[in-house]
Amino acid sequence: MASRISSSGLDRFRAAAERHVADDNVPGLVALVAVGDQVHVEALGHLAIGGPLVARDSLFRIASTTKPITGAATLALAGEGLIDLDEPVDRLLPELADRRVLRRMDGPVDDTVPAARPVTARDLATFTFGFGMVLDMFMAPRPWPIEGAVSALELGALGPPDPARPHGPDVWIAGLGLLPLMAQPGERWMYNTGAQVLGVLLARAAGQSYGEVLRTRIFEPLGMTDTAFWTREPERLAEAYQPTPGGLEVWDRPDGRWSRPPAFEDGAAGLVSTVDDLLAFARMLLRGGHPVLSAEAAAAMRTDQLTPAQKAHGGIGPEFFRGQSWSFCQAVRSDGSFGWDGGLGTSWLVDPARDLIVIAATQRMFESPALPQVHRDLQAAAYTALE
């Protein structure tokens, strides 16, 4: 018999959400649990402290929950024959041809060796192309030279999302092309930047802006009418808060950086969305990919794509690869579940074995790579709610 959510389980799910909603903790949230066709949503608290109430269709900055959508778009264009996952990206991204690689990741940017091979789209989608965030970077006593070079070029490749970044995609990729890779292509997993590069690659492959690629290949087919790189309805967008020792501080207002079209449409962390749009995306992957992906591509999104050697250096935390690995722009876990979270306050978990989807959207930024307690509690409550 298929799983169902019990009425007592729904009470526990609501209680798990209510425990965290407060002006000094999580001012507001929308939490969704779905099993099969059964969907339950809790919308609690306020979009901003002292502001309007949260609604089911409230908008949130989903940050890195953008990444699985970019992964799906990559496989969609591969299915159209516009890209080949194993072809060097040089044809569409000549800026990344003839790469040099740092001799040491923390060394001078001019101390390099030639790349052993070209970068491929598969490298980008699996975050193994040789550039991105690594744990060692955050543990270092002082910034690495490559971090300073990225900052000087205003690329935003090693930090939080920022739609106010001044460069369009052509200038952005040209800037990245001035820098060496941090590791050899295919050598190790490195976070974030691969999805940003994919946005540029897919736009050039389709002859459209990246926003148009997502609209035509993902959003319109799935009815994701509220997902985009900016919103014309800032009154629906939650205020973004950053926790500090003195309490929550405003990081971005509804009429701030996501209220106008960005110069650079960030495939790693740029989207705003709603829980129902993310539900539609999750159901597409659960139900064989139609009408966005082939069944084979949908299955690939749920399958580990890394080698043991690529995982050997760790991820963005000492336990990152314990019980999980990486597919195309999202985590896949040893129990068969998959998903990815957004550091501005969202989590997105899909469990095919139970036909379960759990989505939480808040406006409180994460304080570490670990999933915040509110998201852990909601996911645990969702599992215990199953009959």
DSSP per-residue codes, 167-180:
--HHHHHHHHHTSP
Distances (CA, A) of 291 to 39, 125, 225, 285, 300: 21, 21, 16, 10, 16
pLDDT in tens, the chain (387 residues): 467 889 999 999 999 999 999 999 999 999 999 999 999 999 999 999 999 999 999 999 999 999 999 999 999 999 999 999 999 999 999 999 999 999 999 999 999 999 999 999 999 999 999 999 998 898 899 999 999 999 999 999 998 999 999 999 999 999 999 999 999 999 999 999 999 999 999 999 999 999 999 999 999 999 999 999 999 999 999 999 999 999 999 999 999 999 999 999 999 999 999 999 999 999 999 999 999 999 999 999 999 999 999 998 877 877 899 999 999 999 999 999 999 999 999 999 999 999 999 999 999 999 988 999 999 999 999 999 997
Locate 157 and state its tokens. Answer: 């490749």
Q: Is residue 73 part of a domain?
A: no
Q: Residue 367 sits in a domain of what CATH number?
A: 3.40.710.10
Which of 189, 165, 187 has its CA nearest to residue 176?
A: 165
Tokens 């449409």 sit on residue? 265
pLDDT at 58: 98
| 90 and 108 part of one domain | yes
Domain boundary residue among 189, 206, 223? 206
Distance CA 289, CA 293 (A): 4
Tokens 């139900």 sit on residue? 287
Q: Which domain holds residue 194?
A: 82-206
pLDDT at 24: 95
| 162 and 284 part of one domain | no
**Is residue 30 a contact partner of residue 42, using CB atoms and an 8 Å limit?**
yes
Domain boundary residue among 175, 190, 206? 206
Q: Is residue 77 part of a domain?
A: no
Locate 107 and state its tokens. Answer: 């060394």
Q: Is residue 323 part of a domain?
A: yes
| 146 and 256 part of one domain | no
Paired strand residues for 351: 356
Q: Is residue 76 part of a domain?
A: no
**Is residue 40 a contact partner of residue 34, using CB atoms and an 8 Å limit?**
yes
DSSP tag of 371? P
Q: Residue 150 sits in a domain of what CATH number?
A: 1.20.58
Domain boundary residue among 185, 206, 227? 206
Q: Is residue 260 part of a domain?
A: yes
Cβ partners under 8 Å of residue 138, min gap 6: 316
Pairing of β 112-114 and β 100-102: antiparallel
Tokens 């080698």 sit on residue? 307
Distance CA 323, CA 338 (A): 11
pLDDT at 315: 79
Q: How many domains does the chain have?
A: 2
